[in-house]
Amino acid sequence: MKNKELNSTNSSRYVNHCFGESPPQYVGFIYSRVLCLFVNRHEPLQDLFVTKNKFFDKHPFTARLFKKTLGDGTLFAKSDELWAKKRKSLSSSLYKQKLIQMVETMKQIALETIKEWEQQGEIDIVAEAANLMMRNILACVFGRQNDNPIVKYKENGKIRDMKLGESVQLNMGKGIEREFQAHLIIFPELLPLYISKQDKELEFNIDQVIDYSRNLIAAKKQQFAKTGKYEGEDLLTILLQDEIFNQDDRMIIDECLTFLAAGAQTTAVSITNFLCYMAQNSDKQQKMRDELKGQLKNFGGDPNDLSKELEMDKVEDLIYLKYCFYESMRIEPPVVMSSSCQVNEDMNIQGVKIKKDEMIIINIHQIHHNKDQWIEDDKYIPERFDPSSKYYLTPTGTARHPMSFVPFIGGKRICLGKTFAEYSFKAIVPLLLNKHKFTLVNKDHMNNKPLYDAIMFKKPVIKMRLERL
């Protein structure tokens, strides 16, 4: 394997290491003493996401892994009656008008951030985009006045102050790392027990985040007791008024933390990779900028006027920007493989009998690179999402399978934040590019960008320079 591949800590590329660029439809691994079936092709997804979707569900392994970190949120929960009710309420909280209000806050934070980046001149775009999106998501979850709170964080026996967003990100990373502790590999039954020194520190750090959330809920309830109303359009305030959530503080906290962890990092990865591919492909960047200039009368002008112009209906007209967004998620999916899934009955999926409750992982990265579906799959070509382009088709000239692009999974378990992610990306990116061009500092990165996804243990450092236009 190349060095850049070794730096990526996911099993997806290990499949390529073992089986080459065209692995079998299914590959089995023994994972913590349990058989795990990797799905590497689009064909089984037609059954899992469409024809037999009612049997498709989440396997409990990932839920157990993040039980302490994220609680019992809907993201990893099984599809029971309570899950359906909670998902319906959460969908309503991200409905169009509420989503618009959230993105308005995010645009203001983006304007503040680009000023800070301009003063720095040179930034680590991986770290800075992560900080930007965590501030954005914190403001959407807890309110604008709480977009950068401080909590206690314990590491190597020492306690220090840390931004809550950074703590959440580190807690998620360390939560993933737990499954590779020797005693948990041998005895996965011990996963719920936090017994090592690292586990104890992780437990302390998780409790700090939960305590902050509890205190915020208590303060909002006290305000309600005095005034008879809740103020704010943040997710926390919305859920406090929802009949499914308002009687259970921990249920609210679980969903807020899940939204923080999942929403911030995945969108940050998409923005980072997009900016890098724009820097590598000057022709694509120019085409994208031409569209922004043509569709947005304030692009290149006053940032505040541009921000007002970037309404939901308007950004829908930014077709090529959407193609660039999709291509960034195709070539380097923010989440390279799904959480643990299963089917709830024994069934035949594309000639293979899959047993009830057997663990399944969707190998998103491989599905986005299968050579019989994608022309020149290793190249960044946004036109492959343009129906008028030859790249819209397979190498043989036929239509691509609809399940060959699944960054948000599909069926009843499709990502709840899909619309949020798309709208926030299309509203923030024009603000970042309005007066600036992002260039890669390390010239080696022009041809060999470090791989970057949301579940890597060790994040790469990618320096970018802001050039005023």
Tokens of 34: 């349990």
Q: Is 341 labelled as part of a ligand binding site? A: no
DSSP letter assigned to residue 399: B
- Burial class of residue 167 in the structure, from the number of CB atoms within 10 Å of its CB (0-12 exposed, 13-18 middle, 19+ buried): buried
Strands 34-39 and 359-362: parallel
Question: How big is the CA angle at 60 (ends 55 and 62), to the nearest 5 degrees?
Answer: 120
Strands 352-354 and 463-468: unpaired
Tokens of 215: 């205190």
Strands 347-349 and 352-354: antiparallel
- End-to-end CA separation in angstroms for the chain: 40
Tokens of 328: 């960034």
Residue 326 to residue 316: CA distance in whole angstroms: 14
Residue 329 to residue 353: CA distance in whole angstroms: 31
Strands 341-343 and 158-163: unpaired
**Residue 339, helix vs strand vs coil:** coil
- Single-letter amino acid code for the residue at 226: K
Residue 226 to residue 142: CA distance in whole angstroms: 20
List residues forming the annotated binding site: 415
Binding residues for heme: 415
